[in-house]
Amino acid sequence: MNQLVERKSAGHQIVESLEAHGVKRVYVVPGESYLDVLDGLHGSSIDTIVCRHEGGAAYMAEADGKLGDLPGVAMVTRGPGAANAHVGLHTAWQDSTAMVLFVGLIPFEHREKEAFQEFDPKRWFASGAKRVMVLDHPARASEVVAEAMFSASSGRPGPVVVGLPEDVITELVDTPIHPTIPVALGGMTVDDWKSLRTALLESEKPLFVTGGNDWTVQSTEALTTWLEEHSLPAAAEWRTEGTVPFDSPSYVGPLGYGRPNFSADLLDETDLIVFVGTVPGDVITSGFTSRQNWNQRNFIVTIDPSLRGRSGPISHQIVAKPHSFVRDLVRMDLPEKDSWREWTQRLRAKQQTWSAAPSSTPTDGKATMETLMGNLVERLPEDAMVTFGAGEHTNWAHRYFPTRGYASMISARNGSMGYSVPSAVSAALNFPGRIVVTIAGDGEFLMNGQELATAAQYGATPLVIVMDNGEYGTIRTHQEAHYPGRISGTQLKNPDFAKFAESFGGVGIRVETDAEVPAAVERALETVQAGETFALIHLIVDQRQKAF
């Protein structure tokens, strides 16, 4: 006997389907094209976070996908709204982040008539999304949601776009809520297990490289324990530090852009690399220059058989998500080798020297990031988090921020600017009570600094550090390398960012001299720890100030 289902609009059923999947919040910029979905969110268990720009909403959803077990969800309107959200999709694609973007569309019967804000979502998004779907049949609303959540999470995680014609979502339906579609996790086969064990036993200088966003806290903790028990080292993919904690004796530093000098030859010195959750792409291999000898030994752990980095040799691929791989790995008992211990200790000593916090004692003269980081690091609690976007200012976090657990560093590995504030808002909403620090450059900050209004509206309390050197620093560095002495297109004149923060109801602190830094850091941390509002430190520094 079929169960009777209450008739409701397809838009309302979309909301109920998201609830059934466990979605806690959606990030939206409203539009008339999906009013019925907005109406369904009224009174639902899902928190609706109203953002000030579609790029900010998409970044927040992408950060949500990195921070939790479910895809992040954003909702925007057609045409210009969809165009503005595209930057978040590109971030999710290159970072392999599970994310679903719902886009309101023109009415079904208006298609191909050059209607107001008309565009073709499949042609727009096909090259930058795992899947693009359009809800053409209202009875399939719940099914489409389930398929979108599944597609975003299965295999290599990534972004999925769902188009919602405004007339279709108002149609009444009586179909039941579609169940969650299970995602395959993979795992080591007997052959995988034996091959990896043999390779490790034959290796004198093995190295694990962790990366990606498709982990669980439990799996990272289990991996760390196993590595430490066997005196094995682990490095982190660019901008994913914390999978193996900063303080672990097995953690030997980051790879990729901004890597420490001592790790430049690490990929070629090691005789075995096990990539888990990432692959030897161009960033890790310095533009396909390191680890290119086809006699070198690489194991790659990825759930996508076609995902291999297209760089250098692959000895063996294990088709598994990181947590299912770790589940099988920790059953592998290996004899601890003296060569492993010596190798790991040597690498670890270099990482500790490189990442030791700078002095907290101010110098005479202008404010410096060294003194700020020295004062910040010593005051941070164990579970502090850091977010950032793109630019040379991010290197201060790479080098010094103590990432002591999974998802304690959230960033955009596609080099996307404007990510710092939205990701900090998302992190603060996901983890109320934890200290969330974001380090932004002056150029990056104004790309989405308006999302401080979102932070204020929903009680998110991140600590925002704006390093103001009056230029697009990364591009200036490239410029000086290739066109020395010819500064062009990189210089900035900035407003008072502290007053900007105060205008949203936050605490803004302008810092011009190094002597002001300790008190500024203390006041900012006290503000966010009290949980009343966000704080922003506007740190005015000399140009060409770098972390290394």
pLDDT, tens digit (0-9, with 9 covering 90-100), for 154-170: 999 999 999 999 999 99
Spatial distance between the Cα atoms of 501 and 450, rounded to a whole number of angstroms: 9
- Per-residue pLDDT for 113 more than 90? no
pLDDT score, position 4: 59
Higher pLDDT, 267 or 251: 251
301: left (phi over 0), alpha (psi -120 to 50) or beta: beta
Spatial distance between the Cα atoms of 186 and 302, rounded to a whole number of angstroms: 9
Task: State the distance between the two ends of the chain, measured CA to CA, in whole angstroms.
Answer: 70
pLDDT band at 322 (very low <50, low <70, confident <90, very high): very high
State residue 445 phi and psi, 5-degree precision.
-55, -45
pLDDT score, position 419: 96
Enclosing H/E stretch for 447: helix 442-448
pLDDT, tens digit (0-9, with 9 covering 90-100), for 52-104: 999 999 999 999 999 999 999 999 999 999 999 999 999 999 999 999 999 99
Could you give the percent of the chain with pLDDT greater than 70? Answer: 98
Q: Environment class of residue 85 by beta-carbon count within 10 Å: exposed (0-12), middle (13-18) or buried (19+)?
A: buried
Spatial distance between the Cα atoms of 227 and 418, rounded to a whole number of angstroms: 36
- Per-residue pLDDT for 2 more than 60? no
Spatial distance between the Cα atoms of 389 and 465, rounded to a whole number of angstroms: 12
Q: What angle do CA 207, 210, 216 make, to 5 degrees?
A: 135
pTM of the model: 0.94
Tell me the pLDDT of the chain averaged across its residues. 93
pLDDT band at 430 (very low <50, low <70, confident <90, very high): very high
pLDDT score, position 305: 85
Q: What sections of 154-263 are H helices per DSSP? A: 190-202, 217-229
- Per-residue pLDDT for 509 more than 80? yes
State residue 367 phi and psi, 5-degree precision.
-60, 150
- Per-residue pLDDT for 1 more than 60? no
Asked if 75 and 102 count as a contact pair (C-beta separation under 8 A), the reply is yes
Quickly tell me which residue has 């990272």 as its tokens: 220
Quickly tell me which residue has 């299965």 as its tokens: 154
Rounded-to-5 percentages of helix, strand, coil across the chain: 40, 20, 45
Angle separating helix axes 322-329 and 190-202, nearest 10 degrees = 70
pLDDT, tens digit (0-9, with 9 covering 90-100), for 397-429: 999 999 999 999 999 988 889 999 999 999 999
Enclosing H/E stretch for 341: helix 338-355
Strand partners, 26: 48
pLDDT, tens digit (0-9, with 9 covering 90-100), for 209-263: 999 999 999 999 999 999 999 999 999 998 999 999 999 999 999 998 867 767 7
Higher pLDDT, 112 or 244: 244
Asked if 27 and 53 count as a contact pair (C-beta separation under 8 A), the reply is no
pLDDT band at 3 (very low <50, low <70, confident <90, very high): low
